[in-house]
């Protein structure tokens, strides 16, 4: 079955919103989701040389309003104020990259659990031991995941995932790639759906 690539950073509330519907979008077109953690700190700040959205004059104020508005529209409670965004996404991203190699069946549920912890419940995941606060998939052993997230292997796997995203032209979260065609942003999911339905234009 062909895949739909979903590139995301756990720091991104828009990635959180998109993660709630991307599997249904893929399933409607007989696709599977390939989950690709990436790091906005690399793509936005290091590669593009830009400031984080919330630190950008005028745009930051708009983002605060837009995220709150979208959360209400989607009926997704936010347990975290944007004034206190997650400090880092390294640990959850490493956990997902490790799971893609060793427990691929658990990856979708793991992504949802980590996003829910960060954005619905406001739990900080700054260190591997913080993963024990997350409602992890039953098929994943918390101790194993904690140890894996501390490993050089997990760090290397995340580095490869980020490099892959950059090489594919991905700079923002979320980005959906359909057979190499990029759709950046939660507000492009409808366009991605039309692309899948029509074969593109």
CATH number at residue 71: 3.40.30.10
Write down how long the chain is: 201
pLDDT, position 49: 62
Structural domain including 105 reads 3-198
Q: In the chain, which stretches have pLDDT less than 70?
A: 44-50
- 187: its two tokens: 């507000």
DSSP string spanning 137-178?
A: -TTS-HHHHHHHHTSHHHHHHHHHHHHHHHHTT--SSSEEEE
* Cα atoms found within 13 Å of the Cα of residue 50, Cβ hemisphere only: 13
Say how many domains are in the chain. Answer: 1
**Looking at residue 196, what is its pLDDT?**
97
Render pLDDT for 132-162 as a digit per residue (tens, 0 to 9). Answer: 999 999 999 999 999 999 999 999 999 999 9
pTM over 0.75: yes
């Amino acid at each position: 079955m062909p895949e739909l690539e979903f590139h995301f950073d756990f720091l991104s509330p828009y990635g959180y919103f998109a993660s709630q519907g991307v599997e249904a979008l893929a399933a409607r077109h007989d696709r599977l989701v390939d989950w690709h953690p990436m790091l906005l700190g690399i793509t936005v700040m290091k590669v593009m040389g830009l400031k984080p959205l919330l630190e950008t004059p005028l745009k930051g104020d708009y983002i605060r309003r837009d995220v709150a508005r979208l959360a209400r529209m989607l009926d997704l409670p936010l347990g975290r104020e944007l004034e206190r965004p997650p400090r880092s996404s390294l640990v959850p991203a490493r956990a997902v990259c490790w799971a893609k190699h060793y427990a691929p069946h658990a990856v979708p549920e793991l992504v949802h659990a980590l996003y829910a912890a960060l954005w619905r419940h406001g739990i900080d995941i700054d260190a591997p031991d913080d993963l024990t606060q997350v409602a992890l998939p039953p098929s994943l052993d918390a101790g194993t995941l904690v140890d894996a997230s501390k490993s050089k292997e997990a760090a290397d796997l995340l580095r490869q995932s980020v490099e892959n995203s950059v090489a594919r032209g991905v700079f923002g979260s979320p980005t959906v790639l359909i057979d190499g065609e990029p759709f950046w942003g939660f507000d492009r999911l409808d366009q991605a759906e039309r692309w899948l339905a029509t074969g593109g234009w």
